[in-house]
Structure formats: structure tokens, C-alpha cells
């Protein structure tokens, strides 16, 4: 009996070029290394963080300085860590400030403003204070006037330069730029902008002004 050639004929008349790639499974040692890296990164997330900046740390609604500020945590206060991503800690902050805002506040704190509560660096909370969003502060410079900047930088353009004791309402901050803290502020006379924390000071609880040395 002669051998059948149907299979070959079928291939010749009906051939279709097909290109595909089959992904090979990850090698066991690669998977193990990835798991080890994840475990290592988790191991370095502290259980809680302490605020090490004199002007506190803003607890934002999202991991961005542009996100709304829910509350500003005071220097020396601690927050329970819930997670970490890209230099930001997701925290639960429960303090006197948080209570006034309705209880424990959950949000994001920038990693440069806090440290591991169990092993913090040396820090100083002497003469510390915070500006909550909506709180008023006043301008004070030793000479000249205070520039209201378009964004948080000493090189940013400005359209107003206010005299001492100009009343501002805080809208954002503190935000650290170039080792200097800045606050978003606004007033009816100037509109919104940014001022260096060095020249924005808090009112006394019972009226009057608090004058801190600045340069």
C-alpha cells in the first residue's frame, strides 16, 4: 500500500504564519529573591513614627504635598504607621489636635518630617508650634517687607510685599524646600501665595503678638 500524503498536502495548501511567545516561568531562585526583597522592605517599616520637625508635620489626604491637609501633627508627637510608599508614611494620628478634628486622623506624612519612634535621631522641639489650616498668623521681618511668593521658593516671583503684622490665613504646610519650611497663606489684600515659615508667626492665645528672632 502506498503511504498517504494528505497531511503534507493540507499543510501546503492551508499554511498560516503564526508568531507567538511563550513566557517561561520564573526561576525558583528569582522568585525567592523577589520575596526576600519584599520581606526586607516591609521589615524596615516602623510600627510608629515621631515628628522631628519644630513646626510639625502635615497629615495629608494623599501622598502628595498638593493634597489637602487634614491636621498638622506637633513636634514630638507620634503616629501609628499603616503603610509606606515612595517616601510617604500612611498613618493614624490620634492626639489633641486630631480629637478637635473629630477623632483619630488617617492620612499621609512625608518621611523627611518623621523618624522611627524606636530609634529617632536627635531633635529639638524647643519653641515648637504648628499652624493648622485656617489658623491665622502674622508677618514679621527685621527690615523691609515680606514677599508673598508664587510657589515655595526664595527665587519664586512675587506680586506683593507686605508690612509687619499683616494678617494671613494658613492654607497649606509646612512644606520643606531646600531645608526651609514654607506655608501656603492667603489674605483679602493679597490673595494666595507662599511665605517662608521664618517670617510667619503665631498670635498669642490671649491676643497680642509673639516675636521670635529671625534674620
Query: What is the value of pTM for the model shown?
Result: 0.72
Residue with cell 525567592: 32
Q: Which residues pair with 73 in a beta bridge?
A: 57
pLDDT in tens, 102-149: 668 999 999 999 999 999 999 999 989 999 999 999 999 989 999 999
pLDDT digits (tens, 9 = 90+) for 139-166: 999 899 999 999 999 999 998 999 999 9
Name all domains of the chain by residue range, CATH numbers in brackets. 48-116 (2.30.30.40), 136-202 (2.30.30.40)
pLDDT digits (tens, 9 = 90+) for 16-58: 444 434 444 444 554 455 444 434 445 579 999 999 999 999 9
Amino acid at each position: 500500500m502506498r503511504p498517504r500524503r494528505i497531511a503534507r498536502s493540507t499543510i501546503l495548501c492551508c499554511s498560516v504564519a503564526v508568531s507567538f511567545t511563550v513566557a517561561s516561568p520564573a526561576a525558583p531562585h528569582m522568585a525567592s529573591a523577589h520575596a526576600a526583597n519584599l520581606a526586607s522592605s516591609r521589615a524596615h517599616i516602623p510600627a510608629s513614627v515621631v515628628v522631628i520637625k519644630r513646626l510639625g508635620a502635615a497629615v495629608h489626604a494623599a501622598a502628595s504635598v498638593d493634597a489637602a491637609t487634614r491636621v498638622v501633627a506637633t513636634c514630638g508627637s507620634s503616629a501609628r504607621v499603616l503603610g509606606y510608599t515612595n517616601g510617604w508614611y500612611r498613618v493614624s494620628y490620634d492626639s489633641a489636635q486630631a480629637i478637635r478634628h473629630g477623632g483619630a486622623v488617617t492620612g499621609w506624612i512625608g518621611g523627611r518630617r518623621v523618624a522611627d519612634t524606636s530609634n529617632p535621631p536627635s531633635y529639638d522641639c524647643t519653641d515648637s508650634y504648628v499652624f493648622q489650616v485656617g489658623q491665622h498668623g502674622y508677618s514679621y521681618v527685621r527690615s523691609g517687607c515680606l514677599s508673598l511668593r508664587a510657589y515655595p521658593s526664595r527665587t519664586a516671583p512675587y506680586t506683593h510685599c507686605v508690612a509687619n503684622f499683616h494678617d494671613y490665613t494658613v492654607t497649606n504646610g509646612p512644606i520643606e524646600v531646600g531645608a526651609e519650611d514654607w506655608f501656603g497663606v492667603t489674605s483679602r489684600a493679597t490673595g494666595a501665595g507662599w511665605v517662608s515659615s521664618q517670617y510667619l508667626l503665631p498670635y498669642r492665645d490671649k491676643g497680642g503678638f509673639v516675636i521670635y528672632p529671625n534674620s
